Amino acid sequence: MFMNQFDLPAFIAGRLPQVKQDLPVPGKISTVNRSIQVLTDYTRRMAIEHDFKMVRKCMSLVERIYEKGDALVRNAVENVFIFSFSSIMTTFNIVEWRMVQSYMPSRLYNLYVQQVLRSRD
């Protein structure tokens, strides 16, 4: 069973209650991108605060969303969460970036590498 844009906010809120108030109301057209953006911003904040346990939890959550998501949800993960890694990278020194990167599941990291390689074409 696939997760769609209407399921996404509740799915995220159920696993990260601390972002519930920032998530959009299901049913709005921008629900999927906004939900992934909230998760992206929270992951970035946890990385900046060096809360790597939470970074790992967020990365696992994103991977699960990507695996269960329908085409619209998967597209949002790629275009919002994965795309944001280039900007996150500039926030950290190389050691910190490697720490963040080490928590990225291989599927998400492969998507990131594919995106970087496509941008160089």
Q: How many CB atoms lie within 10 A of CB 91?
A: 12
In this prediction the pTM is 0.89
- Do residues 80 and 39 make contact, with C-beta atoms less than 8 angstroms apart? no
Average pLDDT over residues 29-49: 91
Residue 28 scores a pLDDT above 70: no
Average pLDDT over residues 90-103: 84
Q: Please state, for a pLDDT cut of 70, what percent of the chain lies above it.
A: 96
User: 17 vs 94, which has greater pLDDT?
Assistant: 17
Q: Please state, for a pLDDT cut of 90, what percent of the chain lies above it.
A: 59
Instruction: Please list the helix, strand and coil fractions of the chain in percent, rounded to the nearest 5, in that order.
Output: 75, 0, 20
- Residue type present at position 96: E
pLDDT of 14 reads 96
Average pLDDT over residues 23-32: 79
pLDDT of 29 reads 63
pLDDT in tens, 47-94: 889 999 999 999 999 999 999 999 999 999 999 999 887 777 777 888
Would you call 71 helix, strand, or coil by DSSP?
A: helix
pLDDT of 31 reads 87
